[in-house]
Chain A
Amino acid sequence: MAEYKKPLPAISSLSEPYWTGLKHRDLKLQRCNDCQTLWYPPGPFCPGCWSRTFTWQNLSGRGKVNSWVIFHQAYFSSVKDEIPYNVAEVELEEGPRLLTNLVGIDNADIKIGMPVEIVFDDVTEEVTLAKFRPLGGGSK
């Protein structure tokens, strides 16, 4: 695998199950065992009812585009060759929203509300990112 130069996540004791899940092709978030709240980003206990018991639950990996932007400026030298690149905020079917990149689509075709599904991108041996593509496969 070519050396990956873009920023990598700072994985903490809280977020480790999330990243391990992605590595194993599961999108998992914490769901409260008491009030059923599902939340992101990872937290020590339920932000709704403060219950300390929760389960890392596998999610559908489907959602829709809530908003999106196109970077025309390279803030990191490691993304210089990818300008212009997209960043989307995807609202999962189960509710929480994730920032991500849309793949398999031209930037000009991105629309708010379009259905998308997860694509697991193994960027290093340790880290897998959650990217998304149009539901049913990309157009390119």
Chain B
Amino acid sequence: MPAWDLKDQAAVSGVGHSPYGKRLNRSTIDLAGEAIRNALDDAGLTRDDLDGLIVSFGTPIGADADTLAYALGLKLRMYNQTWAHGRFTATCIQNAAMAVSAGLANHVACLASVSFSGFRKPMMGGAGDNEGAREGGGGHGEDPVYGMTSPGAGAALVAQKYFHRYGATSRQLASVAVAFRKHAALNPAALMREPITVEDHQNSRYVCEPLHLLDYCQINDGAACVIVSRSDRARDLKKKPVYISGMQGLPAGREEFIWTHPGFGTSQQKVFDYKPDLQPVYQMAGVTQKEMSAFFTYDAFAILVWTALERWGYCKPGEAAAFTQDGRIELGGALPINTNGGLISEAHVMGWNHQVEIVRQLRGECGPRQIANAQLIQWGNAYGDSLIYRKG
């Protein structure tokens, strides 16, 4: 069966989330339970309808799938869990789409539930970050032996090289954070809603230079959930389905470095002029970039927006710096990006909050930040996986 036979076979039938916040002092199982219940309510499903669960981010920062099933009294036919990284959002939704299309489950809850604030010190780059020291190197280029630690440091390495290679500047990168903060101001769920300026960005402290604090995502607690159902079942539910029209898996290998596209020359990547050419996600969905109402991407660090735009062919290499100026990525611009405010200003829920926003945009539920006549939205990441969602 060619992959494109899966086009529109699965849909998102419900979305939900917990409150997002700093130090909510709530357990990750508690937060997950609230997100799952809200998503089922949104779909018009009950707990007994749910027979699949896929978790993207478990121990030690999030709730694990098996403990969730136990605590919530779920009766599952299948569950799955990826290792604790944000990069697996699309992978989880793809696996859920495949599972419902193949009849392994009817309705699959896909989610992450995280408590970053509780675990920040020991986990993200600190002394307890065992993953940074794993054999073969850390998942974001960490090498703690030389003090190279934390996910943001790998992004800073990419940013420095990007600035040098293309003559771009930190000042240009500020436009990303400024745009997302404007979006967050229109989003009651967002943590950071005060407007910021380019000067605020430039004056914010360096965390890992050349990245400033305002280039960094939030560190918070929260859970967000997406229910994936077979499309014929989704059509009978409370909300209009949002179809999963295209999918592309997460690539790996020596030409990949998580925070940029091939050819960039970080880690062991070769240096060449990257051309996005034909990406399977567009072929499967039968659409092109030009038809997208918006673009959503994993913005743990602002530079990832540039490398994602280039990986997905919205810009040629080196051109994203100029493209993201002048309101082009803001609501009302040529290509709105992360209208929820992103990980940078809404909250860091591993990109699951972005999936919730995409679905709501395609249903027309976004109020003051609604994209007029939203039809198609791409989730596409610097690290190379993607989903294309279509209005039902």
Taking Cβ atoms with an 8 Å cutoff, the residues of A that contact B are: 6-10, 12, 14-15, 39-41, 47, 66-73, 75-77, 79, 82, 84-85, 87, 89, 96-97, 99-101, 112, 129, 131
In the complex, which range does the number of interface residues on chain B fall in?
35 or more
Check B268 against A75 for contact (C-beta < 8 Å): no
B147: Cβ under 8 A from any A Cβ: yes
Name 13 extra pairs, CB < 8 A, besides A10-B135, A77-B127, A99-B141. Answer: A7-B133, A7-B144, A14-B135, A67-B158, A69-B210, A70-B206, A71-B208, A71-B209, A73-B150, A75-B126, A76-B126, A87-B153, A99-B146
Give the number of A-B contacts (CB < 8 Å): 92
Q: Chain B nearest CB: distance from A13 CB in Å? A: 10
Check B146 against A129 for contact (C-beta < 8 Å): yes
With beta carbons under 8 angstroms apart, the residue of A12, A70, A87 that contacts B146 is: A87
Closest 10 CB pairs of A and B: A70-B209, A75-B125, A7-B144, A67-B161, A99-B143, A69-B156, A72-B206, A87-B148, A112-B164, A75-B149
B265: Cβ under 8 A from any A Cβ: yes
Closest to B126 in A: A75
A91 to B90, alpha carbons, bound, how many Å? Answer: 33
Over the window 160-185 of chain B, the binary record of Cβ atoms lying under 8 Å from chain A Cβ atoms (1 yes, 0 no) is 11001000000000000000000000
Contact partners of A89 in chain B: CB under 8 A: 157, 266-267
Contact partners of A77 in chain B: CB under 8 A: 127
Closest to A123 in B: B145
Of B147, B157, B160, B161, chain A has the most CB atoms within 10 Å of the CB of B147
Contact partners of A10 in chain B: CB under 8 A: 133, 135
Write 26 A-B pairs (CB below 8 A) sorted by A numbering.
A7-B133, A7-B145, A40-B268, A66-B266, A67-B158, A67-B161, A67-B266, A69-B209, A70-B208, A72-B208, A72-B209, A75-B126, A75-B129, A75-B149, A75-B150, A76-B126, A77-B127, A85-B147, A87-B148, A87-B153, A97-B267, A99-B143, A100-B146, A112-B161, A112-B164, A131-B146
Check B147 against A79 for contact (C-beta < 8 Å): yes
B78: Cβ under 8 A from any A Cβ: no
Known A-B contacts A10-B135, A112-B164; the reply to A72 vs B205 at CB < 8 A is yes
A15 to B134, alpha carbons, bound, how many Å? Answer: 12
Closest to A127 in B: B145
Contact partners of A82 in chain B: CB under 8 A: 147
A109 to B255, alpha carbons, bound, how many Å? Answer: 30
Check A71 against B133 for contact (C-beta < 8 Å): no
Contact partners of A6 in chain B: CB under 8 A: 145, 147
A67 to B260, alpha carbons, bound, how many Å? Answer: 14
Contact partners of A75 in chain B: CB under 8 A: 124-126, 129, 149-150
Contact partners of B72 in chain A: CB under 8 A: none
B254: Cβ under 8 A from any A Cβ: yes
Check B147 against A101 for contact (C-beta < 8 Å): yes
Known A-B contacts A68-B160, A97-B268, A100-B146; the reply to A41 vs B207 at CB < 8 A is no
